Amino acid sequence: MRTLLLFVVLLPVAALAEDCAFELKDIKPQFAAKLPSGFKLVSTRKDKRKVTQVLKTPDGFDVTVELGGCSHVAYSIAIKGGTLTPKTVGSELVAVSKRVLPTLPMIADAIASPERFLKAIEDGNIITLPAQLPCGDATCTLAIEAEETKPDKKKAPPKKLKKGEKPEPEKEPAGVLKLSYDFAL
């Protein structure tokens, strides 16, 4: 009779979770500490594996940079403002990208690279949205999304219309141009 010996090794889940692309010290704000005139840092939020910053540009755009990842290196640059709507076409997204990205005041060793997106847009062939952009072994996309809005709990009920009066058209939500970079490890 043979005896089967079975060993079970249990690894703590926390130990597996710590094998990540970034050391905690590497996930740092991407915008420069000293901003050029006209730029305003609206917020910086740092979670365990992600940093999110919002910057207001002199042109009135809100730019959000997110950087993080564990089994991948991922970052995105989202631009909101101007005439962007969820129906904005690709050529306008390219024009806004080319106007806003070069002006962003990034730190010297920024991981979230506007230059990478500018090169990918230049080399890419944008036909439909969301568009895949050439980024080597990484996945890069250019998309337009509707701004996420929170429901207004205090919104007044619609007023009764008088005879012959037309209702006000619903306001179209703002569009958010989103450039994403994802490199799986």
pLDDT in tens, 53-112: 999 999 999 999 999 988 889 999 999 999 999 999 999 999 999 999 999 999 999 999
123 CB neighbour count, 10 Å cutoff: 10
Report H helices in 57-181. 90-100, 114-123
Q: Distance between CA 140 and CA 43 in Å, rounded?
A: 25
* Predicted model pTM: 0.80
Domain boundaries, the chain: 19-148+170-184
Q: What does the pLDDT look like over 7-50, one tens digit per residue? A: 333 333 333 445 676 777 778 999 999 999 999 999 999 987 89
Q: Distance between CA 129 and CA 180 in Å, rounded?
A: 13
Q: How far is CA 24 from CA 90, 121, 131, 175, 183, in A?
A: 36, 31, 32, 32, 18
Of the candidates 131, 145, 169, 171, the one whose C-alpha atom is nearest the C-alpha of residue 87 is 145
Tokens of 175: 């569009």
118 CB neighbour count, 10 Å cutoff: 16
